[in-house]
Amino acid sequence: MDRQADITAMRRAVELAARGLGATSPNPVVGCVVTDASGHVVGEGWHQRAGGPHAEVHALRAAGVLARGGTAFVTLEPCNHTGRTGPCAQALIEAGISRVVYAVADPNPQATGGADTLRAAGIEVGQGLLEDEAEAGNLAWLTSVRTGRPFVRWKYAATLDGRIAAADGTSRWISSADSRADVHRLRAEADAVVVGSGTARADDPHLAVRGVEGAVQPLRVVVDTEASAVKPGARVLDDAAPTLIAVAEDADTALPDVVRLPRAAAGGLSVPALLDALHARGVRSVLLEGGPTLAAAFLAAGAVDQVVGYLAPVLLGAGPNALADAGITTLTDALRLHVTDTARVGTDLRITATIQGA
């Protein structure tokens, strides 16, 4: 067994999996590479959309008879259950694969057990190769399975002194065109894009994906308690993507596509109820695009998993901060973040971080 070749094949499977981001919910993203008995890559595949064939099936089809005696590298434990498609463990057995290496164990109780089925069929099974990379690639889905609510990524663009708008409310544009294009990629990876009524009022945002080839449009969600911010003719109501307006149970509105939710004690709508409602619609990943008031409510509810901040080399000195009051009054209560990535995007710095302990 050539360990370096195994790593190369699994890294490729992780890359392939990422192609499915934003298109597979409520399923995970999965990539698969099949090598023949002498270690040559003979098949590649990834799960492209929910209801479509799983990654293993695509890769086995590409490999054909060359899979016999070969190895399958899969980013997630092959499934064992018959859902809309047949179990992948069985497909691997039938293809005559002799070794299966998977990165991450399947935490989904309905699908788990694939490794046992493979072993029982006499297939050599290895687990854990590039587990961290594969976990990171499937962060949204794994988080949603573990927490029972959608994964939430909060994104904002701020000046170096942490402002997201000027004192007069103008905010276009703080970040560079490259950063804004990068945000369209984040939207394409998400199942839903969420903003508060303050942002809807100030910016009349469109929230659809532009400029990302093959993107599946996310559900656009405005959290508008009194149904007073989104008016007929708002850009978010066009037909570029589906839209959902979250309003209070007693709100007076004739808009279609509303979801009625309980109010939160502190004002606005209940964040957990909103996330439950989105989860029930198949949403497994949310891109929270602000503004600072809604982001603070999500953070206070413990409902932010990842923060992506675009810091522009701009100073304002006044204007709203990226985050409003999230109920933190003393330093010991500060939310400490763990930086997982930094990148230059155009003239800006992009920082990606997770909340420690989340």
Ligand X SMILES: NC(=O)c1ccc[n+]([C@@H]2O[C@H](COP(=O)([O-])OP(=O)(O)OC[C@H]3O[C@@H](n4cnc5c(N)ncnc54)[C@H](OP(=O)(O)O)[C@@H]3O)[C@@H](O)[C@H]2O)c1
Minimum CB separation of residue 355 from ligand X in Å reads 18
Report d(CA 276, CA 257) in Å as an integer: 16
Candidate list 15, 44, 56, 77, residue with the active-site label: 56
Minimum CB separation of residue 159 from ligand X in Å reads 9
Q: Tell me the C-alpha to C-alpha distance, in Å, between residue 164 and each of 184, 242, 343, 353.
A: 18, 27, 20, 18
Kindly tell me which of 60 and 164 has the beta carbon lying closer to ligand X. Answer: 164
Q: Does 264 bind ligand X (CB under 6 A)?
A: yes
In three-state secondary structure terms, 192 is: strand
Asked if 140 and 284 count as a contact pair (C-beta separation under 8 A), the reply is yes
Report d(CA 32, CA 58) in Å as an integer: 8
Cα end-to-end span (Å), the chain = 37
Query: Between 204 and 243, how does the x/- string for binding to ligand X read (CB under 6 A)?
Result: -------------------xxxx-----------------
Of 119, 151, 117, 127, whose CA–CA distance to 29 is shortest?
Answer: 151
Tokens of 353: 């971080």
Asked if 47 and 24 count as a contact pair (C-beta separation under 8 A), the reply is yes
Kindly tell me which of 66 and 269 has the beta carbon lying closer to ligand X. Answer: 269
Q: Does 261 bind ligand X (CB under 6 A)?
A: no
Kindly tell me which of 168 and 213 has the beta carbon lying closer to ligand X. Answer: 168
Q: Does 171 bind ligand X (CB under 6 A)?
A: yes
Question: Which range binds ligand X by CB under 6 A, 42-50, 117-125, 263-271, 332-340?
Answer: 263-271
Q: How many residues bind ligand X (CB under 6 A)?
A: 31
Question: Which range binds ligand X by CB under 6 A, 50-58, 80-88, 145-153, 163-171?
Answer: 163-171
Angle between helices 55-63 and 3-18 (to 10 degrees): 120
Minimum CB separation of residue 149 from ligand X in Å reads 15
Where would I find the beta strands (DSSP E) of 105-168? 124-127, 151-159
Query: Between 3 and 32, how does the x/- string for binding to ligand X read (CB under 6 A)?
Result: ------------------------------
Q: Which residue among 106, 203, 305, 348 contacts ligand X (CB under 6 A)?
A: 203
Q: Does 165 bind ligand X (CB under 6 A)?
A: yes
Q: Does 202 bind ligand X (CB under 6 A)?
A: yes
Minimum CB separation of residue 106 from ligand X in Å reads 34
Q: Does 56 bind ligand X (CB under 6 A)?
A: no
Q: Does 198 bind ligand X (CB under 6 A)?
A: yes
Q: Which residue among 32, 115, 192, 271 contacts ligand X (CB under 6 A)?
A: 271
213 tagged catalytic: no
**Interacting residues with ligand X between 284 and 303 (CB under 6 A):** 289-294, 297
Q: Does 304 bind ligand X (CB under 6 A)?
A: no
How many Cβ atoms sit within 10 Å of the Cβ of residue 343? 11
How many Cβ atoms sit within 10 Å of the Cβ of residue 250? 9
β-strand 124-127 against 151-159: which pairing, if any?
A: unpaired
Question: Which range binds ligand X by CB under 6 A, 44-52, 80-88, 164-172, 333-341?
Answer: 164-172
How many Cβ atoms sit within 10 Å of the Cβ of residue 148? 10
Kindly tell me which of 117 and 179 has the beta carbon lying closer to ligand X. Answer: 179
Q: Which string of b and e fits 166-186 if b means at least 16 CB within 10 Å? A: beeeebeebbbeebbebbeeb
Asked if 83 and 45 count as a contact pair (C-beta separation under 8 A), the reply is no
Residues belonging to the active site: 56
- Residues of this chain that interact with ligand X (CB under 6 A) are 156-157, 164-165, 169, 171, 174, 195-199, 202-203, 223-226, 264, 268-269, 271, 289-294, 297, 320, 324
